[in-house]
Chain A
Amino acid sequence: MLSLQSLSKTYADGTRALEAIDLAVPNAEIVALIGGSGCGKTTLLRLVAGLDRPSAGRIALDGEPITGPHPGVGLVFQEPRLLPWLDVAANVGFGVSDLPRRERAERVAHALERVGLAEHAGRWPRELSGGQQQRVSIARAFVANPRVLLLDEPFSALDAFTRKDLHRHLLALWEEVRPTVLIVTHDVSEAVALADRAIVMRPKPGRLDESVALPLRRPRDPAAPASEAATRTILGALDRSLRPRDAARTPELAGGSSF
Chain B
Amino acid sequence: MSGPTVLLTDAAPAKAASTRRSALLGGGGRALLGLLLPLLLAGAWEIAVASGFATGRLLPPPSRIGAALWSLAASGELWTHVAATLIRVGLGFAFGAGAGILFGALTATLPPLRWLLDPSLQALRAVPSLAWVPLFILWFGILETPKVALIAVGVFFPVYVGVAGAIASVDRKLVEVGRIFRLSPLALARRILLPAVLPATLTALRTGLGLGFLFVVAAELMGASEGLGYLLVDGQQFSKPDQILAAIISFAVVGKLADTALVTLTSPLVRWQDTARETL
Are A and B interaction partners?
yes
- Interface of A with B (CB < 8 Å)? 49, 51, 68-71, 74-75, 77, 79, 81, 83-86, 94-95, 97, 124, 126, 144
Interchain Cβ contacts under 8 Å between A and B, 15 examples: A51-B179, A68-B182, A69-B182, A74-B180, A75-B180, A77-B173, A77-B176, A81-B177, A83-B177, A83-B192, A84-B273, A85-B198, A94-B177, A94-B191, A124-B272
- Provide the bound-state CA to CA distance between A144 and B177, in Å: 13
User: Within 8 Å CB of A84, what residues of B?
Assistant: 272-273
A81 x B181 contact (CB < 8 A): no
Tell me the chain B residues, 250-280 only, with Cβ under 8 Å from chain A: 270, 272-274
CB-based nearest B residue for A73:
B180
Known: A77-B173, A83-B174. A51 touches B180 (CB 8 A): yes
B182 x A81 contact (CB < 8 A): no
Known: A84-B272, A126-B274. A95 touches B173 (CB 8 A): no
B272 x A95 contact (CB < 8 A): no
B179, B195, B196, B270: which contacts A69 (Cβ < 8 A)?
A: B179
User: Within 8 Å CB of A69, what residues of B?
Assistant: 179-182
B195 x A83 contact (CB < 8 A): yes
User: Within 8 Å CB of B192, what residues of A?
Assistant: 83
- Interface of B with A (CB < 8 Å)? 173-174, 176-177, 179-182, 191-192, 195-196, 198, 270, 272-274
User: Within 8 Å CB of A85, what residues of B?
Assistant: 195-196, 198, 270, 272
CB-based nearest B residue for A141:
B180
CB-based nearest B residue for A144:
B181
User: Within 8 Å CB of B195, what residues of A?
Assistant: 83, 85
User: Within 8 Å CB of B273, what residues of A?
Assistant: 84
CB distance from A63 to the nearest CB of B (A): 20
CB distance from A51 to the nearest CB of B (A): 6
Known: A84-B272, A126-B274. A79 touches B173 (CB 8 A): yes
User: Within 8 Å CB of B274, what residues of A?
Assistant: 126
CB-based nearest B residue for A87:
B272
B181 x A94 contact (CB < 8 A): yes
User: Within 8 Å CB of B191, what residues of A?
Assistant: 94, 97
User: Within 8 Å CB of A74, what residues of B?
Assistant: 180
Q: A94-B181, A94-B191, A144-B181 are in contact. List 5 more A-B contacts (CB 8 A).
A: A51-B180, A69-B181, A74-B180, A77-B173, A95-B181
- Provide the bound-state CA to CA distance between A126 and B270, in Å: 13
User: Within 8 Å CB of A86, what residues of B?
Assistant: 272
User: Within 8 Å CB of B182, what residues of A?
Assistant: 68-71
B180 x A95 contact (CB < 8 A): yes
CB-based nearest B residue for A83:
B174
B173 x A49 contact (CB < 8 A): no
A51, A70, A124, A144: which contacts B176 (Cβ < 8 A)?
A: A51
- Provide the bound-state CA to CA distance between A70 and B191, in Å: 19
User: Within 8 Å CB of A126, what residues of B?
Assistant: 272, 274
CB-based nearest B residue for A150:
B180
B272 x A49 contact (CB < 8 A): no
Top 6 closest A-B pairs, CB basis? A95-B181, A85-B195, A85-B272, A69-B182, A75-B180, A81-B177
CB distance from B178 to the nearest CB of A (A): 9
CB-based nearest B residue for A94:
B181
A81 x B173 contact (CB < 8 A): yes
B174, B180, B196: which contacts A49 (Cβ < 8 A)?
A: B180
CB distance from A75 to the nearest CB of B (A): 5
- Provide the bound-state CA to CA distance between A94 and B179, in Å: 12
- Provide the bound-state CA to CA distance between A69 and B178, in Å: 10
CB distance from B199 to the nearest CB of A (A): 9
- Provide the bound-state CA to CA distance between A68 and B184, in Å: 13
CB distance from B271 to the nearest CB of A (A): 9
User: Within 8 Å CB of A77, what residues of B?
Assistant: 173, 176-177
CB distance from A145 to the nearest CB of B (A): 13
CB distance from A6 to the nearest CB of B (A): 25
User: Within 8 Å CB of A79, what residues of B?
Assistant: 173
CB-based nearest A residue for B176:
A51
A81 x B174 contact (CB < 8 A): yes
- Provide the bound-state CA to CA distance between A97 and B182, in Å: 11
- Provide the bound-state CA to CA distance between A255 and B196, in Å: 48
Max count, chain B CB within 10 A of own CB: residue among A49, A69, A86: A69
CB-based nearest A residue for B273:
A84
User: Within 8 Å CB of B272, what residues of A?
Assistant: 84-86, 124, 126
Max count, chain A CB within 10 A of own CB: residue among B174, B179, B181: B181
- Provide the bound-state CA to CA distance between A84 and B274, in Å: 9
